[in-house]
């Protein structure tokens, strides 16, 4: 399978945020151009070819502020530097943060950023620093997978990706001296210690790391939250970076944030899978001995263990958590419950476990007894059932379905007997029973033997199949260890194989050490099998399955009806959703409430049987609005020039550019047994004013970026009266001009837009015929009982999907995106003048210069006269308080619907707003005279 890549606007926005950071830096030169000091490339006397920065901190801060304002972020007042924990030592001076939610293509984005920086400015040397072997392998695979894609986009620029290998240190010299775009991938642990080979002089003239320092690379830090220690900060600083670009979903420090795609934005835009939770929670069972190790406390004279157990109370059995010391008997502590009569004296307390007299060893946060086995067995069955149901729907679309099980004890899935043969654990046994049950219910859907469809990825179990005299499986939890290398190796190398329908493996059991570094786009189910509530962060669990899936052609699937991740945790839906919301507020500062859906509260949406009157109303309005259009624009060149001139003369919107400066650093030379080294005093710097004599090719640069003639560009530049800025900072000024022209051009294109019907092309009523599945929380009303106003006069109905797959009683509904839409639907029901209304389907699109636009509602309004409305519901009615692109699309909607004079297009937040607009527009007869 060859993965296909497309250009996503949000990724391009993140790339541009970094590219614009260097506005004013000299542009890339052709390979035949003469080398000058005024360049982004430096040629060293030692043969190295490195990066060099020509703009000063003041220009960079100005660029940062402009990028932040454009991306809706709070502008920085100063450039935030990386410092030691005590604040006394300064590390890297130029650090920039890009925040992207897990699953949105962070690695793709920073690889594209490398190519873009090379194309724009000519920067050649980049180092990608990663926290673990797993992420290193994933990064390398991404570089391979995207090579052809980016080669086509960037004129097949020569590009070399090098994996750091301590046994091939000469490759670092090649990295330094290569004239190609060079990318070095290295783990942080490869160069943090003096004992690392990269830092050792040996018999060489210089330590190998000096080759990296010599080229002043742009350092990309992947998952920088793993680098926030003084040792690792200093290690990054010792690479002598031109700057660091930090990419993660969960930053600890937001140094100079340039771009932010938070979990809510990613979720709402459909850039990741939607989340539903099938919570499994057992009732308390007092018919056996229940014991849970809640905590261990080390006190000055002794250790105590907090144990949860069932206690005979005055009137009933209650579960309580009690502090216990060595020798305590649970039979006594439980007020003589018979289940604890033998074998429950606390014999030993260790750092992370306790031992009872009967031989029970209980790990911290684990439980024994109760209904834990029943809960986990049911979790497995629910996961298998969901897997088969999704596969039945998605296999015809060429989409492979994967299910991922997190387990906390490898022995529960597979162990080794006395003869060193692999033995199935309870999870494997339960899985086999569930698989065979549903394989009979869905015959021929999975044409493979049960033994081949599931596999484990554990330390010592590289092939997902047990066996062998020397096989040992380990509960590995330390990231970055050699054990993790074993844990991740196969799953990293075989990512694309797992996507093929010809590969039997589709149920993956993994130890909880599987964290950052591995995910697969076709994971549709995640099941957490723990003897206590999972201690993994919810975001960490979800991150393994949030990426959008791909089909057998390697194409990304963007259908929200397909892109649903089902989580089967050992807790209730409400508990899971609350914990996830709390995590997101703590980690990302965003509200995620209402976005995680309950898998047990799903409905099927379809057209309801219409009465003769309803059908007539629906047909009447549909036939008036279902035309498809194309648009043309009439652009007044003189008006464009005047608009651009006025914009450029507005210094509040487009401030004057600043002159670039040369950076000066003082360094002390130290002579020791390792040779001559320079120690930079990062605090002491000078900035020397510098006037550039080199002016970029003005027209070539601008015409490559805006569709405007040379004559018009000349008129704009001359009329703005700012040509002098070309001699101060030519590149920075041209980038300002591009931004101004692009903004003005978009506004004028919409202002002059005209729509034309496409002969014979109309949207069919069949757009409403395909049933879709969604959640009760996504429809209004959420149920049809007496507490919620029933809907009428509308097109669709919802039928609850019961646990057995059958459908419950249908009720009329609309699919809603917000509380404003719920309120509008209720208004329509209450207002007698609204005769019929419905939400327009997502496939009903109006083309615009800013992308397709999907209006909200169609409405038949009648009093003395009938009016057909298309309504856009907005919570904010003032244009100035809405987004610019939102307003432009609304203007396009107005132009589109003027093709039928019987249709009125309005923006409102309630039906009462429509009435006011009707009076204002002077439409007679619809509303009684006031």
Residue 483 in this model has a pLDDT that exceeds 50:
no
Residue 257 in this model has a pLDDT that exceeds 90:
yes
332 lies in the same domain as 251? no
Q: For residue 685, name the pLDDT band (cuts at 50, 70, 90).
A: very low
Evaluate whether residue 283 is within a structural domain: no
409 lies in the same domain as 548? yes
Please give the structure tokens belonging to residue 181: 């775009």
Q: For residue 463, name the pLDDT band (cuts at 50, 70, 90).
A: very low
Q: For residue 541, name the pLDDT band (cuts at 50, 70, 90).
A: confident
Lowest mean pLDDT among 402-406, 688-692, 803-807: 688-692
Section 415-429 average pLDDT: 81
Contact by Cβ (8 Å): 899, 629: yes
| Interatomic CA distance for residues 78 and 742, integer angstroms | 29
The single residue listed with the structure tokens 């897990």 is 102
363 lies in the same domain as 377? no
Please give the structure tokens belonging to residue 142: 């991404």
The single residue listed with the structure tokens 């006269």 is 865
Evaluate whether residue 54 is within a structural domain: yes
Contact by Cβ (8 Å): 605, 774: yes
> Domain range holding 540?
372-594
| Interatomic CA distance for residues 360 and 842, integer angstroms | 58
In the prediction, which pLDDT does 36 show?
Answer: 55
Residue 487 in this model has a pLDDT that exceeds 50:
no
State the chain's mean pLDDT as an integer. 85
Q: Residue 295: enclosing H or E segment and its boundaries? A: strand 291-298
For the stretch 258-272, pLDDT in tens is 999 999 999 988 999
Section 211-228 average pLDDT: 95
Size of the chain, expressed as the number of residues it contains: 930
Residue 465 in this model has a pLDDT that exceeds 60:
no
524 lies in the same domain as 383? yes
> 258 forms bridges with which residues in the sheet?
none
The single residue listed with the structure tokens 């309801």 is 608
Evaluate whether residue 272 is within a structural domain: no
Q: For residue 515, name the pLDDT band (cuts at 50, 70, 90).
A: low
Query: Between helices 725-751 and 637-648, what is the axis angle to 10°?
Result: 130
Evaluate whether residue 739 is within a structural domain: yes
Q: For residue 784, name the pLDDT band (cuts at 50, 70, 90).
A: low
Residue 180 in this model has a pLDDT that exceeds 60:
yes
For the stretch 85-129, pLDDT in tens is 888 888 888 999 999 998 899 999 999 999 999 999 999 999 999
Geometric angle at alpha carbon 384, from 549 and 581, rounded to 5°: 60
Please give the structure tokens belonging to residue 82: 């990386």
| Interatomic CA distance for residues 727 and 737, integer angstroms | 15
Q: For residue 372, name the pLDDT band (cuts at 50, 70, 90).
A: confident
Evaluate whether residue 2 is within a structural domain: no
Inter-residue long-range contacts of 424-427, CB under 8 Å, 24+ positions, other chains counted = 426/373, 427/376, 427/380, 427/509, 427/529
Please give the structure tokens belonging to residue 97: 């943060």
Residue 611 in this model has a pLDDT that exceeds 70:
yes
95 lies in the same domain as 175? yes
67 lies in the same domain as 190? yes
| Interatomic CA distance for residues 317 and 310, integer angstroms | 6
Which of 13, 228, 199, 212 lies closest to 105, judged by CA? 13
We report the CATH number of the domain holding residue 445 as: 3.40.50
Please give the structure tokens belonging to residue 690: 């510098």
432 lies in the same domain as 551? yes
Burial classification of residue 113, based on how many CB atoms lie within 10 Å of its CB (0-12 exposed, 13-18 middle, 19 or more buried): buried
Boundary (domain end) residue, out of 368, 397, 427: 368
The pTM of the full predicted model, rounded to 2 decimals, is 0.74
Boundary (domain end) residue, out of 717, 751, 785: 751
| Interatomic CA distance for residues 157 and 112, integer angstroms | 13
Who's near 667: CB < 8 A, 6+ residues apart? Answer: 678, 679, 680, 681
363 lies in the same domain as 380? no
163 lies in the same domain as 148? yes
Number of domains in the chain: 5
Q: Strand 95-100 and strand 49-51: pairing?
A: unpaired
Q: For residue 532, name the pLDDT band (cuts at 50, 70, 90).
A: low
Evaluate whether residue 276 is within a structural domain: no
| Interatomic CA distance for residues 577 and 106, integer angstroms | 25
Section 277-285 average pLDDT: 72
Q: Which SS3 state, helix, strand or coil, does residue 791 take?
A: coil
Boundary (domain end) residue, out of 711, 732, 751: 751
CA atoms within 13 A on the CB side of 234: 12
In the prediction, which pLDDT does 495 show?
Answer: 72
In the prediction, which pLDDT does 665 show?
Answer: 44
The single residue listed with the structure tokens 């905590």 is 295
Which of 237, 340, 276 lies closest to 546, judged by CA? 276
For the stretch 698-716, pLDDT in tens is 888 898 888 899 999 999 9
HEC profile of 327-392: CCEHHHHCCCCHHHCCCCEEEEECCCEEEECCCCEEECCCEECCCHHHHHHHHHHHHHHHHHHHHH
We report the CATH number of the domain holding residue 155 as: 3.40.50.300
572 lies in the same domain as 620? no
Torsion of CA 460, 462, 466, 471, to 10 degrees: -30
Q: For residue 344, name the pLDDT band (cuts at 50, 70, 90).
A: very high
Who's near 752: CB < 8 A, 6+ residues apart? Answer: 633, 634, 635, 636
For the stretch 20-39, pLDDT in tens is 999 989 988 755 444 556 68
Report the 10 Å Cβ neighbour count for 446: 22
Lowest mean pLDDT among 172-181, 616-625, 732-741: 732-741
Section 428-457 average pLDDT: 93
Q: How far is CA 688 from the centre of its chain?
A: 42
Residue 237, phi then psi, degrees to nearest 5:
-65, -35
| Interatomic CA distance for residues 165 and 190, integer angstroms | 9
Residue 734 in this model has a pLDDT that exceeds 90:
no
559 lies in the same domain as 426? yes
Residue 774, phi then psi, degrees to nearest 5:
-150, -160
> What's the Cα-to-Cα distance from 68 to each of 20, 62, 245, 482, 821, rounded to whole Å?
11, 10, 15, 41, 32
Q: How far is CA 409 from the centre of its chain?
A: 29
In the prediction, which pLDDT does 475 show?
Answer: 53
> What's the Cα-to-Cα distance from 194 to each of 210, 545, 831, rounded to whole Å?
13, 39, 77
Evaluate whether residue 16 is within a structural domain: no
For the stretch 866-879, pLDDT in tens is 999 999 999 888 98
In the prediction, which pLDDT does 356 show?
Answer: 95
> Integer distance in angstroms from the first to the last C-alpha of the chain?
68
Section 818-843 average pLDDT: 93
Q: For residue 812, name the pLDDT band (cuts at 50, 70, 90).
A: very high
In the prediction, which pLDDT does 494 show?
Answer: 67
Q: For residue 407, name the pLDDT band (cuts at 50, 70, 90).
A: confident
Evaluate whether residue 298 is within a structural domain: yes
231 lies in the same domain as 363? no
């Amino acid at each position: 399978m060859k993965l296909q890549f497309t250009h996503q606007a949000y990724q391009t926005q993140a790339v541009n945020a970094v590219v614009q950071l260097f506005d004013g830096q000299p542009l890339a030169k052709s390979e035949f151009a003469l080398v000058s000091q005024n360049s982004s490339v430096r040629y060293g006397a030692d043969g190295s070819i490195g990066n060099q920065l020509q703009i000063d901190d003041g220009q960079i801060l100005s660029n940062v502020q402009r990028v932040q304002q454009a991306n809706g972020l709070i502008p920085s007042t100063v450039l935030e530097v990386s410092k030691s924990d005590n604040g006394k030592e300064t590390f890297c001076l130029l650090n920039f943060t890009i925040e992207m939610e897990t699953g949105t293509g962070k690695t793709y984005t920073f690889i594209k950023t490398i190519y873009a920086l090379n194309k724009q400015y000519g920067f050649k040397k980049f180092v990608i620093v990663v926290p673990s072997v797993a992420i290193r392998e994933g990064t390398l695979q991404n570089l391979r997978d995207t090579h052809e894609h980016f080669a086509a986009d960037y004129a097949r620029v020569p590009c070399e990706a090098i994996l750091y290998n301590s046994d091939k240190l000469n490759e670092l010299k090649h990295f330094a001296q290569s004239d190609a775009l060079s990318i070095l991938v290295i783990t942080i642990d490869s160069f943090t210690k003096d004992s690392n080979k990269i830092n050792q002089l040996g018999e060489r003239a210089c330590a190998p790391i000096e080759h990296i320092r010599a080229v002043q690379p742009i350092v990309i830090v992947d998952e920088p939250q793993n680098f926030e220690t003084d040792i690792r900060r200093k290690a990054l600083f010792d690479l002598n970076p031109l700057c660091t670009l930090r990419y993660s979903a969960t930053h600890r420090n937001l140094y100079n944030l340039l771009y932010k795609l938070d979990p809510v934005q990613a979720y709402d835009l459909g850039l990741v899978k939607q989340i539903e939770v099938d919570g499994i929670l057992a009732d308390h069972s007092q018919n056996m001995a229940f014991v849970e190790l809640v905590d261990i406390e080390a006190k000055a004279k002794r250790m105590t263990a907090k144990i949860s157990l069932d206690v005979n109370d005055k009137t009933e059995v209650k579960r309580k958590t009690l502090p216990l010391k060595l020798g305590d008997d649970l039979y006594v502590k439980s007020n003589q419950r018979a289940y604890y009569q033998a074998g429950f004296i606390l014999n030993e307390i260790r750092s992370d476990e306790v031992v009872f007299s009967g031989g029970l060893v209980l790990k911290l946060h684990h439980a024994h007894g109760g209904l834990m086995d029943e809960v986990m067995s049911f979790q497995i069955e629910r996961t298998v059932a969901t897997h088969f149901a999704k596969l039945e729907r998605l296999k015809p679309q060429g989409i492979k379905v994967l299910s991922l099980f997190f387990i906390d004890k490898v022995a529960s899935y597979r162990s080794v007997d006395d003869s060193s043969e692999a033995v199935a654990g309870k999870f494997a046994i339960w899985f086999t029973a569930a698989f065979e049950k549903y394989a009979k219910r869905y015959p021929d859907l999975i044409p493979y033997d049960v033994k081949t469809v599931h596999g484990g990825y554990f330390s010592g179990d590289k092939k997902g199949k047990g066996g062998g005299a020397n096989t040992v499986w380990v509960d590995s939890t330390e990231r970055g260890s050699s054990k993790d290398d074993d844990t991740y190796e196969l799953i990293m190398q075989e990512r694309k194989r797992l996507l093929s329908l010809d590969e039997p493996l589709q149920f993956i059991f993994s130890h909880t050490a599987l964290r950052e570094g591995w995910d697969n786009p076709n994971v549709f189910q995640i099941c957490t099998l723990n003897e206590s509530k999972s201690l993994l962060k919810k975001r960490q669990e979800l991150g393994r399955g949030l990426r959008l899936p791909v089909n057998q052609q390697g194409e990304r699937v963007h259908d929200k009806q397909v892109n649903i991740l089902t989580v089967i945790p050992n807790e209730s839906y409400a508990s899971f959703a609350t914990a996830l919301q709390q995590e997101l507020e703590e980690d990302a500062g965003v509200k995620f409430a209402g976005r995680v859906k309950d898998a047990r509260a799903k409905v099927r949406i379809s057209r309801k049987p219409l009465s003769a009157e309803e059908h007539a109303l629906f047909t009447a309005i549909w036939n008036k609005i279902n035309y498809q259009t194309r648009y043309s624009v009439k652009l007044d060149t003189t008006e464009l020039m005047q608009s651009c001139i006025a914009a450029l003369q507005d210094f509040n919107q487009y401030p004057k550019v600043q002159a670039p400066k040369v950076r000066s650093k003082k360094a002390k030379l130290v002579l020791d047994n390792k040779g001559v080294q320079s120690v930079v005093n990062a605090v002491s710097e000078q900035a020397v004013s510098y006037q550039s004599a080199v002016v970029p090719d003005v027209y070539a640069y601008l015409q490559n970026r805006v569709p405007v003639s040379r004559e018009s560009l000349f008129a704009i530049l001359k009329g703005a009266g700012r040509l002098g800025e070309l001699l101060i900072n030519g590149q920075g000024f041209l980038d300002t001009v591009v931004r101004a022209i692009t903004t003005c051009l978009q506004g004028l294109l919409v202002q002059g837009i005209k729509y034309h019907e496409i002969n014979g092309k109309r949207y069919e009523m069949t757009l409403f015929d395909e049933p879709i599945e969604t959640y009760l929380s996504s429809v209004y009303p959420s149920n049809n009982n007496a507490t919620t106003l029933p809907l009428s006069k509308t097109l669709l109905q919802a039928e609850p999907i019961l646990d057995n797959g059958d459908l419950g009683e249908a009720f009329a509904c609309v699919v809603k995106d917000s509380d404003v839409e719920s309120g509008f639907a209720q208004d329509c029901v209450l207002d007698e003048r609204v005769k019929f209304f419905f939400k327009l389907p997502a496939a009903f699109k109006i083309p615009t210069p800013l992308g397709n636009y999907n209006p909200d509602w169609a409405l038949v309004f009648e009093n003395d006269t009938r009016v057909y409305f298309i309504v856009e519901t907005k919570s904010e009615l003032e244009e100035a308080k809405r987004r610019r692109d939102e307003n432009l699309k609304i203007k396009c909607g107005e132009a589109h619907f003027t093709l039928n004079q019987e249709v009125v297009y309005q923006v409102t937040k309630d039906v009462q707003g429509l009435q006011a607009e009707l009076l204002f527009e002077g439409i007679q007869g619809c509303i009684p005279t006031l």
